[in-house]
């Protein structure tokens, strides 16, 4: 079965490659999209990529994903630690979401250890840099296969 997956990136991820490379790596968002597109071919899935620095736009994209995508990979950036609105959007749509972070949020500042997304996500991948994206794709497809 072919699944459609939305890869949704939150605030400041448009600056990947130049933003704190010691924390987030030197890979750009465009490089990540290319890697994910190649992985999608291997997995036989279709992808849609989106990025926004605005919380309401991310909420709208999660709402729109219902009925259009089988699941979402969400790197909510800093909204992970603050956004009850994103948490509510995920739980309201009941679409499977894999939470993703480039850095290991559990090894960083105390406030980054709190994730509102984790409460409603099917799982979380963090700390593997850009390699986390294809891992998240594999995990989501595995989840979709197990629950179909």
Q: Locate 40 and state its tokens.
A: 């999608």
Beta strands per DSSP E along the chain: 4-9, 46-51, 71-75, 97-101, 123-126
Give, rounded to a whole angstrom, the gap between the first and last alpha carbons of the chain. Answer: 10
Distance CA 12, CA 2 (A): 31
Distance CA 92, CA 56 (A): 15
Distance CA 61, CA 119 (A): 19
Catalytic residue (choose from 24, 79, 116, 133): 24
Whether 24 is catalytic = yes
Catalytic residue (choose from 69, 79, 101, 133): 101
CA nearest 136: which of 19, 5, 38?
A: 5
Active-site residue set: 24, 101
């Amino acid at each position: 079965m072919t699944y459609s997956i939305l890869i949704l990136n939150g605030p400041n991820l448009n600056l990947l490659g130049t933003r704190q490379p010691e924390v987030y790596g030197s890979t750009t968002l465009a490089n990540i999209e290319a890697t994910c597109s190649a992985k999608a071919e291997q997995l036989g899935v279709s992808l849609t990529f989106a990025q926004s620095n605005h919380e309401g736009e991310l909420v709208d994209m999660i709402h729109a994903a219902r009925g259009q995508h089988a699941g979402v990979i969400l790197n909510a950036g800093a909204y992970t630690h603050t956004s009850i609105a994103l948490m509510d959007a995920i739980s309201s749509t009941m679409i499977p979401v894999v939470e993703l972070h480039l850095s290991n949020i559990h090894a960083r500042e105390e406030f980054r250890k709190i994730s509102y997304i984790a409460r409603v996500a099917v799982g979380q991948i963090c700390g593997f840099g850009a390699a986390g994206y294809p891992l998240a794709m594999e995990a989501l497809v595995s989840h979709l296969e197990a629950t179909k």
